[in-house]
Amino acid sequence: MYLYNSATKTKDEFVPHEAGKVSMYTCGPTVYHFAHIGNLRTYIMEDILDRYLRYSGYEVTRVMNITDVGHLTSDADTGEDKMLKGAKREHKTVMEIAKFYTDKFFEDCKALNIRRPEVVEPATSCIDDFIRVIESLLEKGYAYEAGGNIYFDTSKLKQYYVFHNFEEEDLAVGVREGVEEDGNKRNKADFVLWFTKSKFDDQELKWNSPWGVGYPGWHIECSCISMKHLGEYLDIHCGGIDNAFPHHTNEIAQSEAYLGHKWCNWWVHVLHLNTNSGKMSKSKGEFLTVSLLTEKGYDPMVYRFFCLQSHYRKSLVFSWENMDNAKVAYNKLIARIATLKEDGDVDKAVFDAQKANFIKALDNDLNTSLAVTAIYDVLKADTNGATKLALLADFDKVLCLDLIENAAKLNAEKSAETEAVPSDDPFIREIEALIEARKEAKKAKNYAEADRIRNDLAARGVTLIDTKEGTTYKID
Ligand code: AMP
Ligand code: ZN
C-alpha cells in the first residue's frame, strides 16, 4: 500500500516496524462540546485507514486520547482553557462536561460506523506519566522552568519544523490570537509542558507536581499516551491537518528528545471540511452535528458516503445541496442492491478481478472515491447476483456503508407495505392469492405447481422476486 506521509511529503510504500503488525495513534476529541461533522470527517477517514489495514491482513492496535485538560482556545499556549469554557457555558463541572461529550462522541461514531479504538485514554488519567516524561526532558536539558511553568526548549533541536518551514514571524502567536505573548519563553516556538502559573484562577483540575500545583500542556498528552500503549516506535499517527502545527510538531519534538531516536514513521493528515464561509470549527459556535443531520432526514450513512466520495487529502465543501445529491445517490445505490438475488454460486474469476480493482484504489493512498466507483463497477458487471452480493459485502468490510443491511431493510419495508395495504384491485388481489398458493405449494414440496404459478404470472407480465423476507413482485 502507498500512503502519503506529511513528514516526507511523498507517497511512500507502507512498511510497519514489525511485519504484519501496525501501531496507530489518533488524536482524539477535545470533549467540551459535540463533535461537529468536520471533526467526524477526520475520524471517518482514519477509520477507513484502520479498517483497510485490517482488511489487508495487518493486526492493528489503535490508541486514541480524550482531551479533557490542557487544550487552550489557541492551539499554542494562549487563550482560555476549552474545558473550563464548556463547564462555564453549561454550569457543570469539567468532569461532568468531559463525561457527557465523550459519550456523545462515541454515539456519533457508532452512528457513522466508526470503529472504537482498542485503547481510549483520557488525558486526566495519565498525569503521572506526563510528569515522568517532563522530568526526564528537564534532566536531559530539553526543558526549562520559567515563571513557574515548564517549557520545551525548541532551540535544542537540530530540526524543529517537520511539516513546514515556518518563519519566526509566523509564530507571533500572541499577536495573531489577539492575546499577550508569553514573556517567559526563551524562543518563540517554545511550548508549555506544565502550567503552574495559570491565567485562570478558577482552573478546576490541578495536580501536584515537582514544580508546584498545576496542569499539563496539551501536546504532552498525545506523546505520553501513545508511548504508554504503543511503545517507542509508532507506525502511523493521524489527525486533522490543523494538528500538524503546532500540535504534531511539538509531539515529535518532545517524544524524540525523550526517546533519543526517531519515534513515528507515518504522519497522515486529513484535510478539512469547510463551509462556504470557511473551516467548520467548534470554537466559532456554529457547527453541524450528526443529530442535526438525522433530524433533517439524512441517514448518517449518507454523510459517510458523502465523505468517501472525495479524497482525504483534498478539502471538502459542505452544503445542503451536496448532501442532497449524496442522499439521492446513496438511496439509488441501495435500491439497485435491493434487486440483487442470491441466485447461484459465486463466480470466483469475476470476484477476484473486481476485488483487485477495489484493492488497487485503496492501495493508492486510500482513494476512496475510486473505491466507491468499484461498487458501481460491480453492479454493472456481467455476472450473477450472488457474485455481486459477495463482492459488495466484501468491500463493505472497509467502506462500512451498510450496503447489504440497508438493501435488506428496503426489501423488508417494501414487502411489509404490500402486505399491509389490502388492495381493492382484483388483479392485485389475484396476484397476492397466487403468491400465497405458490408459498403453500413450496411448503408441500410441490415444486411443479409452484413453478406453474410463477410461469403463469410471468406470462401475464408479473415477475416474482424471492427475497429472504418473502416474495414480492414487479408488474411489467
Ligand atoms: P478537536 O476536538 O478540536 O481536538 O478536534 C478533533 C479532530 O478533528 C482533530 O483531529 C482535528 O484536526 C479535526 N478537525 C477539526 N476541525 C476540522 C474540520 N473542519 N474538518 C476536518 N477535521 C477537523
Ligand atoms: Zn494529539
CA nearest ligand 1 atom 23, residue: 39
Cβ proximity of 132 and 64 under 8 Å: no
427 shares a domain with 394: no
| C-beta atoms surrounding 427 within 10 Å | 11
Supply the CATH number for residue 181's domain: 3.40.50.620
Examine residue 416 and state whether it is found in any structural domain, yes or no: no
**Ligand 1 atom at minimal distance to the Cα of residue 280:** 19
Can you give the residue range of the structural domain that contains 115?
Answer: 15-270
Closest ligand 1 atom to residue 271 Cα is: 21
Q: Does any domain span residue 2?
A: no
CB of residue 279 inside a 6 A radius of ligand 1: yes
Single out the residue of 27, 40, 47 nearest to residue 298, CA to CA.
Answer: 40
In the predicted model, what is the mean pLDDT of the chain? 91
Do 247 and 139 sit in the same domain of this protein?
A: yes
Res 82 pLDDT > 90: no
316 C-alpha to ligand 1 centroid (Å): 13
Query: By C-alpha distance, which of 299, 298, 316 is closest to 307?
Result: 316
Confidence class of residue 175 from pLDDT cuts 50, 70 and 90? very low
Of the residues 373, 407, 441, which one is the last residue of a structural domain?
407
Do 133 and 248 belong together in one domain? Answer: yes
Q: How far is the CA of 225 from the centre of ligand 2 (A)?
A: 9
Instruction: Mark whether 380 and 335 lie in a shared domain.
Output: yes
41 within ligand 1 shell (Cβ under 6 A):
yes
If you ran DSSP here, which 8-state letter would residue 117 be given? Answer: P
The whole-angstrom separation of Cα 9 and Cα 42 is 19
Strand partners, 24: 62, 236
Ligand 1 near 65 CB (within 6 A): no
Domain boundary among 381, 407, 433: 407
pLDDT at 121 > cutoff 90: yes
Cis bond leading into 246, ω under 30°? Answer: yes
The Å distance, Cα 28 to ligand 2 centre, comes to 7
Same domain, 44 and 170: yes
Cβ atoms of 25 and 19 closer than 8 Å: no
Percent of the chain with pLDDT over 90: 75
Ligand in closest contact with the CA of 225:
2
pLDDT for the residue numbered 84: 82
The predicted pLDDT at position 72 comes to 73
Ligand 1: residue whose CA is nearest its atom 14:
39
335 and 471 in a single domain? The answer is no
More confident residue, 343 or 165: 343
Residue 413 lies in a domain: no
Positive or negative, the Cα torsion across 296, 301, 302, 306? positive
Residue nearest atom 7 in ligand 1 by C-alpha distance: 39
With respect to residue 3, please indicate whether it lies within any of the assigned structural domains.
no
179 in a structural domain: yes
Tens of pLDDT, residue by residue over 351-365, are 999 999 999 999 999
- Which residue has cell 453541524? 288
Q: Which segments of 231-289 does DSSP mark as H helices, in order?
A: 249-259
The number of the ligand nearest the C-alpha atom of 269 reads 1
Q: Confirm whether 467 is domain-assigned.
A: yes
Chosen domain end from 208, 240, 270: 270
Atom of ligand 1 nearest to the CA of 239: 10
189 and 318 part of one domain: no
How many structural domains comprise the chain?
3
| 238 close to ligand 1 (CB < 6 Angstrom) | no
Contact (CB, 8 A) for 476 and 463: yes
Do residues 221 and 73 share a domain?
yes
| Mean pLDDT, residues 315-325 taken together | 95
Please indicate, yes or no, if residue 5 is contained in any of the structural domains: no
Does residue 373 sit in the same domain as residue 425? no
**189 plus 300 within the same structural domain:** no
What ligand is nearest to the CA atom of residue 307?
1
Check whether residue 384 and residue 434 sit in a common domain. no
Instruction: List, in sequence order, every beta strand (DSSP E) within 54-206.
Output: 59-66, 119-122, 143-146, 149-152, 191-195
Task: Answer yes or no: is 21 within a domain.
Answer: yes
298 with 213, same domain: the answer is no
